[in-house]
Amino acid sequence: MLIPQSHALAVILCFVTMLCWGSWGNTQKLAGKTWRFELFYWDYVIGIMIFSLILGFTLGSIGENGRSFINDISQAKAGSIINAFLGGVVFNASNILLVAAMAIAGMAVAFPVGVGIALALGVIINYIFVPKGDPLLLFSGLALIVAAIVIDAVAYKKHSAAMKKVSKKGILLSVSAGVLMALFYRFVAASMATDFVNPEPGMLTPYSAVFFFSVGVLISNLIFNWFIMKKPIEGEPLSFKDYSKGSISTHLTGMLGGIIWNTGMAMSIIASGKAGFAISYGLGQGATLIAALWGVFIWKEFRGASKNVELLILLMFLAYIAGLGLLIYAGK
């Protein structure tokens, strides 16, 4: 299988994760113009599952380092498989809430609040279990990112008050999604070997971990998303007849979203061997910055904002960039 051999390459992969995790939400925005998020989510999960197989049988099956995809699956212990699977289940619960929050509050709010909380808690949790990197730089960077989250929330509150469109439900969903999302990566990390080149028997390596994680997402979605369709957060209940009414382009847009997100997941897991789980996860969740850029400049979610709100948005971006820079240096 192919794995990075240097810290610099691992950081580059983390930036790919950041771009992917911060950009996949655009597919939901595109499909969401005529397509409820519950319907979009079926295609999104299918995309995640398909990409995990493609990745396993390509990059996971070539090269001389570690075990190949099929060999790794065949030797995996039940405990490792269950951990990766549970990671998918926990992620899916959090992500459904996040997608719902995006539909209600917009990308510029749902991502900074939800993913920002996930970043802060997730880095702490992963560092406790695998303390890799300079703790002073790591947690200083984390503090700046938390500050960016607070600034974003203040900007949203001021702007929403001016526009008379305060969405408390959107904020609540974002917070709930963030708390759950902070936990999923630890399950996947617990399933994996500490050395990808010479992995311990019974443990998973990146490509097989992503596969079992994706299976967890797929299986849990049969329960979670079905329930959300019957008891929607907003709007009327849906049925699978509604899903069948979607156009081919709409379904492909949803699948593309899943492929983009799982590309980021795979790069993060692959990079963790050199960067460490806390830093790999933390840099990847800089996706908040990317999503906020999309929300502000492309989707115009802060259109008509006052000068004070614009200043707060600028401060948010600066705090995020500084925080991410410290996370990078923490791993050196």
Ranges under pLDDT 50 in the chain: 164, 166
What is the Cα–Cα distance from 312 to 64, expressed in whole angstroms?
A: 50
Residue 55, pLDDT score: 96
What pLDDT, on a 0 to 100 scale, did the predictor assign at position 95?
85
Count other Cβ atoms within 10 Å, centred on residue 57. Answer: 15
pLDDT of residue 27: 93
CA dihedral 118, 113, 17, 49 (to 10 degrees): 70
CA separation, residue 212 to residues 80, 83, 203, 219 (Å): 9, 9, 12, 11
Tally of CA atoms within 13 A in the half-sphere of 151 that contains its CB:
21
Calculate the CA dihedral of residues 242, 248, 251, 254 and round it to 10 degrees.
-140
Give tens-digit pLDDT for 103-128.
Answer: 777 766 776 778 778 878 888 998 99
Nearest to 233 by CA among 180, 177, 287: 177
User: Of 67, 81, 122, whose CA–CA distance to 214 is shortest?
Assistant: 81
> What is the DSSP code (8-state) at residue 80?
H
Query: What pLDDT score was predicted for residue 16?
Result: 95
Angle at 323 between CA 93 and CA 170, to 5 degrees: 35
Exposed/middle/buried for residue 264 (C-beta within 10 Å: 0-12, 13-18, 19+): buried
What pTM was computed for the model?
A: 0.88
CA dist., res. 77 & res. 16, Å (int): 30
